[in-house]
Amino acid sequence: MFRCDMAKMKNKNGRWYFSRQVDLSVLVQIAFLAVLIVGTWVNLQKQLSLLQHDITSLLETQKQFQQRIEELNRLSITYEYRLRWLEKKMPEAENDKKAQKGS
């Protein structure tokens, strides 16, 4: 059908020009390239959507994990105070036992 001839040519006046004839296969290749670009764009959008879902899930899990860490930290502090209280009371209790045995 059409010929793709992009070579420079001289016309009768001696001026250079480009032949603007386009081959049908060039049009098919351009259309195919456009379809590839659109397909790649759609694929990237799907990948971004999946990535957004994964990040949202990861942030939610991190939030739950952080809450659990804070809860364990509070419990640890509570047990630390209980342990200190018991360690403080143990010598007093031993002294009371010794005093009762001695009487």
Strands (E), the chain: 8-10, 16-18
How many domains would you assign to the chain? 1
User: What's the pLDDT score for residue 95?
Assistant: 72
pTM here is 0.53
Whether the CA torsion 90, 91, 92, 94 is positive or negative: it is positive
Q: Per residue in 26-44, pLDDT tens?
A: 899 999 999 999 999 999 9
* Residue 81: both structure tokens together: 């105070």
Whether 56 is in a domain gets the answer yes
Whether 43 is in a domain gets the answer yes
The parent domain of residue 19 ranges over: 8-102
Q: Per residue in 50-101, pLDDT tens?
A: 999 999 999 999 999 999 999 999 999 999 999 999 988 888 777 777 777 7
Whether 3 is in a domain gets the answer no
26 vs 92: CA distance, rounded Å:
98
The alpha carbon of residue 55 and the mean position of all alpha carbons in its chain are separated, in whole angstroms, by 5
